[in-house]
Structure 1
């Protein structure tokens, strides 16, 4: 079937023009933003000639094509009229997808996620202060404590300001005006009136005396309402006076609504959440904490863990958190323990590397995504061990009413967040939970076991003769062996562990991946530059001896549209092994939220007997990464 015919089938399968918000493509896949992904039959799409697979990610419906994706893209865009860039629609389709709860959860997560680094940083400073004052190494009356408290409190006190930024971007309203409204809500003059506790009126309208610093829900409701007010002002405001009237009217109207109507409603909602948490703590804490702890890995998997942030932030104003943060303590260290057990027992080098790093991340920092996606969810049985031990520890926490007195991602380093001079047993119980969760999960993981295949000797058949590929005969210089050197310094991992099914399932070919430690990427062999993708994140090469290689720097980095990348070659250029191909600002890419894992794919794998990864774990551009037989 021709590319044109396949493109027509893809176009029809995704719902045609009426269901396409926009279409773009990267080096391997068509990326649709659809109005409704549910109407698409994934199995039917996979059966279309030329389609290697599909993937749902970041609100996109991705149809994996391979090297010919640009040809398919050119044919699809001829079939309808729709944007071929996401700038016109941005996050709007995501907001409309799913039921009301999904929409709300997506909104909360989208607004809260960018704030997490600041909240974690501020929370850890508060944890350190708790530790220092508890040990008597710092006085709570000194200037050092006063100033450092400001460091820790600032991310929380100014939550309305930073939430105004993220929420305004989500709802596409004027960010600076949104920040201005948040500033009104925490302005010292208004705060002084609240502190005075006397009736306040604005132009005869009653103003609720609420404290909006450290609040979450009021500003989110304000920005949501601001979207409609801004649209209305745009319609009625004369064009020649808009630059003056629009900001003036918007600040006045939204300021009044924020203090008189919307802010108080948000405050009542926050009070309701606090009451709900207090009710659970009083009457059903042992059940609630047990369930929360047991299912925390699944909550993290769906990205919902930060959607709970408004709950424990709102509740923390009235009382310490005894639900979500304690549950995360048991679950986080359990993930670390499961990975530790896997790392110690596995015979697979790559699994050991992934599990060891994930264990450290979970134990010390409470970051469990590497453990979840790299080990426990992958092998399933360790995940069951995590959930069982977390649930049991949750029962204990509920019974003893374990409380967190500062916001920090729970882990061994953050245990002081459970310290309180008035309740000395609280920190002891937290330590008991951390140790018990670690030991119990470790034992259960070993008892349950997991399906972990040891590295196998690669075998293949060519011309009816079986060829056994081992590192011994490769290193001895097997006849016709072609070498692909590492394009960048870093840690060499197998391609199956890449967090992208396009690569991990070898849809485009066999290869390997590197966790880069350098910003410079070099030619892995002498040959020709076949493709330099416009977004600079991927380069296709063909060696002088016939190996076609795709170097894909980062996962989903096509969405950066070339930002943070600098290419030094063009299509058709001849290169020698070691020539500079491109530079990538890895730190900036990570800060933008993308994985920098660099994938090496031999796209014409079928032309060879086998592709064998080097056994080395650390490589640079002078180290062979792949042997192509």
Structure 2
């Protein structure tokens, strides 16, 4: 299914424009602010093709997509008229400021302000990683002009963080954006930096100014913009309307500049140093414990979005001190997620699962983007997640003992591994390679050993019985035994698994096991020799029974009973004998889509309990001459 079709389903399931207050996206997630989340059926959203999972976080309804999230975002935006920036993120559904405990407000603020910057930070980080690699192997001199200019490319997203965060924070708190930008610019103005670098005592109108460097800082500007929200409200009240256009910007710049350099900026700097100091203290006295815990639980931290609460620490690795906790832990966790997904791809017999797991493995291993692996594979099947967490704890213990450090901000992955290179500490990179290899091998082996259940087990069957039945089914299919019956596709189209159908009745197999087809042709043909058991009065569904005892429901479209038969021309009647290939129905797919309905067609074996197993064909493109599934 295309991104356009899936986006339409997402839009409909979250309640459309009437239920959307706000929408933005990060690297892997659509982030909705909904008026009423209780109206959304999470399970239906999860079943939409392309959706890896959902998450409720800090008042946001997050739909996890993966690397293609921007395509889905563009399609959803076209469907309605609603805000598409962070301006609505600081308010609740009534327009009032969001309430909640301070910790939730803090994490929501950090996440909302940092998320739009991630593409720029990733790009700058990778440029710095490449420079580390080129200079280490001697292909580029650190004294060359080329190195200097390319370093500017990589440093710019980090150096100007106060200005970038001023923009996102101003949207969050609904502060005048250009005034917020000016506040960020004051912190990194060249003349102020010169005063700081001079080493002399600095005063502003007799007030002491802390000689701090604010380039690439996070907390100071966030505190400043937060304070600006109250300053602007105060100025609106006290400045006469006739002088507001002149006095308000004058007073705001002056007050913000003084307060930022004398009070708020130093407090933010001290807060960042305190946070970093706590981490370093833990690393110094209990690294053997902190690192295993961080590496083991990093997938869950990422799942909740809490990793951005640590941004002041790991962003410091770009300019100041190396990070010896967050980024190393992410290295073990990211490689583990990729290895677990790859193991699932190798072990599974389901072609669709293999495609999803393979793509997720590549994303995690090469790019460090783990949401597709986490939501599409490991969290879904659980045991691969446990395998990656066990591996994280083991490799984390090793990292804590050797004090592995990252010297540049980049999302840890195979391609960004040079971020652990430091010519003064050559062993650091060797340790990183050991962690990468160990995390991959341990997770891969554990996943293969622990296995995973792709389908829920029936209550009467044990894991051993299920495995035995699966082995028997596979043997019979491969040998062409008489017990294996073939059911052909009734229509040309794309074959998908039944659990990916956007309807819990079919996805949870309440009516029976089977598959589904996304039709590409209006003509639906008999999938076998047999009898027409039932033609539904609304013509959208037909019940058949094969000569071999298979009772099958062909349901053309989802919820299409509401169309009352208008787009359907049924060519058969109840109790009529049919031969494989006989024309059953002509459906106007265009009319069905125009009416707003999904044309996906479930093919359900309604008496599947009488058989051992229903096994889908591994082909993804089918027609009436192609087997859709086997019944054992």
Instruction: Give TM-score scaled by structure 2 length.
Output: 0.67
Residue 442 of structure 2 corresponds to which residue in structure 1?
Answer: 440
- Relative distance call for 1:621 and 1:158 in structure 2 (3 A) is farther
Residue 260 of structure 1 corresponds to which residue in structure 2?
Answer: 262
- 5+ long unaligned stretches in structure 2: 1-17, 23-31, 43-53, 63-80, 456-466, 471-483, 525-538, 543-553, 560-565, 569-586, 609-613
Is the partner of 1:206 in helix, strand or coil?
strand
- Relative distance call for 1:368 and 1:247 in structure 2 (3 A) is same
Q: CA deviation at 1:494?
A: 3.2
Q: CA deviation at 1:525?
A: 4.0
Q: CA deviation at 1:280?
A: 2.2
Residue 102 of structure 1 corresponds to which residue in structure 2?
Answer: 104
Specify which of 249, 253, 270 is matched with residue 251 of structure 1: 253
Residue 308 of structure 1 corresponds to which residue in structure 2?
Answer: 310
Residues 242-283 of structure 1: per-residue CA shift (max 9 Å, x gap)? 333322222221121111111111111111122223222322
Is the partner of 2:123 in helix, strand or coil?
helix
Alignment partners' CA distance in 2, 1:264 and 1:293 = 32
Alignment partners' CA distance in 2, 1:277 and 1:442 = 31
Alignment partners' CA distance in 2, 1:60 and 1:625 = 43
Alignment partners' CA distance in 2, 1:185 and 1:485 = 59
Residue 422 of structure 1 corresponds to which residue in structure 2?
Answer: 424
- Relative distance call for 1:269 and 1:622 in structure 2 (3 A) is farther
Is the partner of 2:393 in helix, strand or coil?
helix
Alignment partners' CA distance in 1, 2:137 and 2:302 = 34
Alignment of 1:392-541 (within 5 A): 392-453=394-455, 472-475=486-489, 481=490, 483=491, 485=493, 493-494=496-497, 496-497=499-500, 525=522
Q: CA deviation at 1:121?
A: 0.9
Alignment partners' CA distance in 1, 2:398 and 2:112 = 33
Is the partner of 2:443 in helix, strand or coil?
helix
- 5+ long unaligned stretches in structure 1: 1-21, 44-54, 63-83, 457-469, 476-480, 487-491, 515-521, 528-541, 552-571, 583-597
Specify which of 157, 182, 185 is matched with residue 183 of structure 1: 185
Q: CA deviation at 1:161?
A: 0.8
Alignment partners' CA distance in 1, 2:510 and 2:246 = 56
- Relative distance call for 1:438 and 1:626 in structure 2 (3 A) is same
Alignment of 1:359-370 (within 5 A): 359-370=361-372
Alignment partners' CA distance in 2, 1:324 and 1:158 = 22
Alignment partners' CA distance in 1, 2:21 and 2:423 = 57
Q: CA deviation at 1:409?
A: 0.8
Is the partner of 2:557 in helix, strand or coil?
strand
Alignment partners' CA distance in 2, 1:216 and 1:623 = 61
Residues 43-95 of structure 1: per-residue CA shift (max 9 Å, x gap)? 9xxxxxxxxxxx87463689xxxxxxxxxxxxxxxxxxxxx977995541297
Alignment partners' CA distance in 2, 1:176 and 1:211 = 22
Q: CA deviation at 1:117?
A: 1.1
- Select between 385-394 and 613-622 the one with higher mean Cα deviation: 613-622
Residue 91 of structure 2 corresponds to which residue in structure 1?
Answer: 92
Alignment partners' CA distance in 2, 1:513 and 1:168 = 48
- Relative distance call for 1:403 and 1:61 in structure 2 (3 A) is closer
Is the partner of 1:180 in helix, strand or coil?
helix
Is the partner of 1:201 in helix, strand or coil?
strand
- Relative distance call for 1:269 and 1:450 in structure 2 (3 A) is same
- Residue 526 of structure 1 contacts residue 577 of structure 1 at CA under 8 Å; is this kept in 2? no
- Residue 496 of structure 2 contacts residue 515 of structure 2 at CA under 8 Å; is this kept in 1? no
- Residue 497 of structure 2 contacts residue 516 of structure 2 at CA under 8 Å; is this kept in 1? yes
Alignment of 1:124-143 (within 5 A): 124-143=126-145
Residue 151 of structure 1 corresponds to which residue in structure 2?
Answer: 153
Residues 282-313 of structure 1: per-residue CA shift (max 9 Å, x gap)? 22212111110011111111111222112222
- Relative distance call for 1:314 and 1:25 in structure 2 (3 A) is closer
Specify which of 546, 557, 569 is matched with residue 549 of structure 1: 557
Residues 322-352 of structure 1: per-residue CA shift (max 9 Å, x gap)? 1111111111111111111111111122221
- Relative distance call for 1:124 and 1:317 in structure 2 (3 A) is closer
- Higher Cα radius of gyration: 2
- Residue 111 of structure 2 contacts residue 308 of structure 2 at CA under 8 Å; is this kept in 1? yes
Residue 165 of structure 1 corresponds to which residue in structure 2?
Answer: 167
Residues 582-623 of structure 1: per-residue CA shift (max 9 Å, x gap)? 9xxxxxxxxxxxxxxx976569x999999x998466569999
- Residue 492 of structure 2 contacts residue 520 of structure 2 at CA under 8 Å; is this kept in 1? no
- Relative distance call for 1:60 and 1:208 in structure 2 (3 A) is closer
Residue 65 of structure 1 corresponds to which residue in structure 2?
Answer: none
